[in-house]
A and B are shown apart, each in its own frame.
Chain A
Amino acid sequence: MPAITLHAAEEEHSPHSLIPFLHSQPQTLLTRLYQRPSACLSIFRLLAPLQQQIIMNLLWLEAAISSTTMSAWVVRDARKKVTSSTSYDTALSALFKLHILSTANLTKLVLNSTFKTSLRQALTGGGATGSFGVPAEPDDKHPPMSVEALDGYALERWETILHYMVSSGTGQGSIQPSKDVLFLLKQSGLMASGTNQITSEGFQFLLQSPHAQLWQLLLEYLRMAEARSMDLVEVLSFLFMLSTMELGREYSTAEGANAGTTSQAQMQTQKAMLADLRDYGLVWTRKSNVKRFHPTRLATTLTSTSPPLPSSAGPGAGPKEGFIVLETNYRVYAYTDNPLQTAVLNLFVSLKYRFPNLVVGSITRESVKKALASGISAEQIISYLIAHAHPQMRKNNPLLPVTVQDQIRLWELERNRLKSSEGYLYTDFSSEADYQLVLNYAKQMDLVIWESSAKRCFFASTEGHPRIKAFIERRTAEAGSADGYP
């Protein structure tokens, strides 16, 4: 059985967090978005591999292809018949929802013509949309920023945000990010709006990968953009353009590039976005000169899974990824001097010693309970430890000591000893026979939550109440005498 569940998990990996947002958008908006080759390419990247392959199969066909011809390519292995055909069907329906596949005629498969033209253009180059960003003319006075400097800038910005969130709970003061960032954090429910305190969603947010964090904030930004009456197509296509840009190059804004062809509204949107994204560390601009900007690594890795942030330790200091060593005696050694990482660890580890490049602590019942109380789940703690495990730990199999993993889960279960469920209590049965009769009926329906034959009463779920009531009433009517009432 485990093998089968594993296989299923592999097949149906959850789609990117942006995809559901795009699903909810109207077709006209998506079609406008698909006019940009860069947007098509970025969306294509976010899709599941099977969906990508279906698009590629259809991309170079001029005529529509009947869906039966296409499904003839699906492997119909006797053993995997169900899984392969269903995953193919879900892939198709996902593409229909994104309006990448035309919905006009369900027996024929054909790509949305706008999408087809744009993706073809993206793959073969050409066209004159300039959607991949117009590089700025070299400027002699200001040489372009180096990649290291950009990384440093992005890291500083991003960690300011995260560090502010962590320290808000502990009451220590830290540098405040800009007002817009604060507003965004409150809007997304990561910070409580009244008290400026981190919420339990905020704690969960902290333990996610930087990539997931980034998209969560950007999604909130997109929702806000609607409210701010910014053109969503412009916002999205600017983000997608950023994601296809080259790190370490300077680009000119719509205003600087070709002021003649871009509309006033477009320029306004871009200007506002540049200011916002500057706060998040996605782009870097020289203050005096906003006609040109540098995308940072945060922006250029939006549609990939490569790490969006460089190592937080200085260059050459220690391994690039992973700094936590966890021992079977619950001791945690974290090779870091980054205040943010220390603060995040402090959420579920009781820290003991701090050295210039090493923090030592241990996972205790109290520290984990504290984390659980603030809304962090055991799975999140474990996945954080796995994601940041020291390369030395990677030699172990399993990666984390099983005892510690199990104990963290058990501590979580301790909190869940009481389970509440709504229902009705049936008491005062006049005879044992009546009690058994009703109880058996309820048991057959799988409605009983608790029973006590000594007290001659039982507790059944809310959904079942009408049926049980009807059953009792029917019985009383048949017997002609009052038997038992709930």
Chain B
Amino acid sequence: MDVEETKASHLSVVLDLSPAHWELSARDQPHNTHPLSLASFLSQLLAFLNAHIACRDENTLAVFGAFPKKSVMLYSSTEPPTNWVSSDTTGNAYPPFNAVDSTVVQRISAELERLESPEGEEVPPSALVGALTKALCYVNRISLPPNPNSKAQANGFHPGVLPDPRILILSVSPDLSTSYIPIMNSIFSAQKLKATIDVCQVYGHNSVFLQQAAHLTGGSYILLERRDALLQYLMMSFLPPPSIRKTLSVPTQDQVDFRAACFCHKKIVDIGFVCSVCLSIYCTPLPVCTTCRTKFPMKTLTRLKAAQPLLLGVAGGVMTNGGNKGTTTNGGR
């Protein structure tokens, strides 16, 4: 019965590795009181990852990296890199730690080097959503009871022992309003998988969407203020599995920004118009919902239009050129 009482837990870490924002974070500027470079971030992160594996031998770990326009799985403990050979001959490090550390660092530097060559004038935003989706797919895969014929059991993976899945997002880039819908979809699938999403915004301002992700999945959200204490934040807030959080609390948010982005212009709106059938959000009243093609009665429309100038004052001029014709192509998500 011991196995039931102290379950292994799974942690997927999603790293936002946008070079531009890490460069900003490392710079010693007046508004940036605690500069944090990528290198020192990684060394603290690796200590955190090691701590997760240290807690129990069965704890599983996966690391995903979100690079500009690309997301990569950097490490996964269920499929350890086959070509990895321990170079350590001194016996000063625990082999699994060594494997994680060297693999993650190697893969990140390889990916970053590959980025350098096609240096354009504008750096595309990092594929955080892609990495998050990959992490969810991975959680889904390991949560399924393994097929008795598959090799998964040979790795000491018990059926019926479901690792407590958690996803930790370490983000440095600001919200991308275009990623609202995919992030919301990820949140829903995380809820379905009973996965907790923890978020640590390492650099920049509060992220509206990630805040919601943490809130809706019961995770904790931290906007890192003292970046020199990153490791302590990681250990205290993101290491404990859900069972421990019942006893030792972790920081949660007292205020969550629940604003949504409209489906037509991908703008974050204070007041939106919601289709009563499919719950799509628009920044301006439409006669026909572009997602589900529901026609709204003229009467409602005129009433909403009449109320609009009143709302405009509150919304701060969001709906300036919201022509109905232009929205049909974008709203189909």
Contact = CB atoms under 8 A, between A and B. Distances in A.
Contacts of A129: 92
B244 A306 contact: no
Interface residues of A, number: 58
Interface residues of B, number: 48
A52 B95 CA distance: 21
B260 to A, nearest CB: 31
Contacts, number: 135
B56 A13 contact: no
Contacts of B95: 132, 244-246
B156 interface: yes
Given A49-B244, A50-B248, A88-B247, A133 B91 contact: yes
B156 A131 contact: no
Residue with the highest number of chain B CB atoms closer than 10 Å, among A38, A56, A127, A128: A56
B3 interface: yes
B3 A305 contact: yes
A135 B47 contact: no
A391 B148 contact: yes
Interface string A240-278: 000011100101000001000000000000000000000
B91 A59 contact: no
A45 interface: yes
Residue with the highest number of chain B CB atoms closer than 10 Å, among A123, A126, A128, A251: A123
A372 to B, nearest CB: 22
Contact of A307 (B94, B156, B160): B156
B140 interface: no
A18 interface: no
A231 to B, nearest CB: 20
Interface string B21-45: 0000000000000000000000100
Interface string B225-256: 00000011001100111011111110000000
Nearest to B245: A75
A308 to B, nearest CB: 10
Interface string A345-381: 0000000000000000000000000000000000000
A41 B91 contact: no
B93 interface: yes
Interface string A274-304: 0000000000000000000000000001011
A329 interface: no
A49 B54 contact: no
Interface string A106-145: 0000000000000000111111111111110000000000
B5 interface: yes
Nearest to B156: A306
A107 to B, nearest CB: 19
Contact of A135 (B3, B86, B148): B86
Interface of B: 1-3, 5-6, 43, 46-47, 50-51, 54-58, 86, 88-95, 97-98, 101, 148, 153-154, 156, 158-160, 231-232, 235-236, 239-241, 243-249
6 interchain residue pairs of minimum CB distance: A304-B57, A306-B156, A125-B93, A13-B5, A130-B91, A134-B91
Given A37-B92, A249-B86, 9 more contacts: A49-B6, A50-B244, A74-B248, A74-B249, A75-B245, A87-B247, A125-B101, A257-B91, A319-B148
